[in-house]
């Protein structure tokens, strides 16, 4: 006798598989911001740093033209944030220093009068400190998000991937199959009498079985 009753599936394959994990989460790449972040993450680091360097130079020229009357702080932060997020903390520190020096040169060559004369240098030190703090905060935030994402995908007891990670992979495969108009197969393996393994040999042995 067949132990598993046959069920007629009337929904499309994507909807049926999505029921395994409940309602499918909206993918980050579906949003405009997510698409931009995904595109930037795929750029070569050398190209990304070249673009960021060009931005710093352009902002420095604009600072020189406008003088200290017009604040351009946010425009110096943008390239720093880009390289910090996609290239790492060390590169972010380098661009923070480069931006602070560029900003100082723009102030000194803008023709503005400062009293006392060492005010631009004080401003440069303060700006450098602020940009370095920004770099540190962004890099720490990214590392924290990466760790939290990894923890959310992993079972704490066994160290194996959990249902959340399975749903993420499932959504990726569904999107890939839809994009290339190709079928794909999901194989499920059930361990019979798994409770007996835990009862007979202990939970540590059952955890080892999870890794097999």
Tens digit of each residue's pLDDT (9 = 90 or more) over 160-178: 777 778 787 888 888 888 8
| Total count of residues recorded for the chain | 212
Taking only the tens place, the pLDDT of each residue in 112-150 is 888 898 999 999 999 999 999 999 999 999 999 888 888
Does residue 209 register a pLDDT over 70?
Answer: no
Angle at which helix 119-153 crosses helix 89-108, to 10 degrees, equals 160
Within a 10 A sphere around the Cβ of 87, how many other Cβ atoms? 18
As given in the structure block, the two tokens for residue 98 are 């480069």
Q: Which of 135, 56, 69 is nearest to 101 (CA)?
A: 56
- What is the distance between the alpha carbons of residues 122 and 166, in angstroms, rounded to a whole number? 54
**Interatomic CA distance for residues 152 and 166, integer angstroms:** 11
Q: Is 1 helix (H, G, I), strand (E, B) or coil?
A: coil
Prediction pTM value:
0.67
For 154, the token pair is 């992993």
User: Using 50, 70 and 90 to split pLDDT, how confident is the model at 201?
Assistant: confident
Q: Which of 20-29, 96-105, 106-115 has the lowest mean pLDDT?
A: 20-29
Q: What is the pLDDT of residue 210?
A: 61
pLDDT at 157: 67
Residue 89's pLDDT band, with cuts at 50, 70 and 90, is very high
């Amino acid at each position: 006798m067949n132990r598993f009753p046959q069920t007629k599936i009337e929904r499309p394959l994507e909807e049926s598989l999505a029921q395994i994990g409940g309602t499918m989460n909206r993918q980050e790449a579906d949003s405009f911001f997510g698409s931009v972040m995904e595109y930037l993450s795929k750029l070569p680091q050398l190209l990304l740093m070249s673009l960021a360097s060009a931005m710093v130079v352009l902002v420095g020229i604009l600072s020189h033209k406008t003088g200290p009357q017009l604040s351009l702080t946010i425009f110096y932060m943008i390239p720093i944030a880009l390289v910090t997020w996609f290239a790492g903390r060390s590169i972010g520190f380098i661009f923070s220093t480069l931006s602070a020096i560029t900003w100082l040169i723009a102030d000194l060559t803008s023709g503005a009068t400062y009293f006392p004369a060492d005010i631009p240098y004080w401003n440069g030190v303060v700006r450098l400190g602020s940009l370095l703090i920004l770099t540190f905060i962004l890099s720490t935030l990214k590392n924290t998000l990466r760790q939290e994402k990894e923890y959310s995908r992993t079972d704490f007891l066994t160290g194996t991937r959990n249902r959340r990670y399975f749903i993420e992979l499932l959504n990726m495969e569904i999107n890939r199959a839809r994009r290339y108009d190709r079928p794909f197969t999901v194989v499920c393996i059930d361990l019979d009498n798994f409770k007996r393994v835990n009862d007979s040999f202990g939970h540590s042995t059952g955890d080892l079985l999870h890794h097999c």
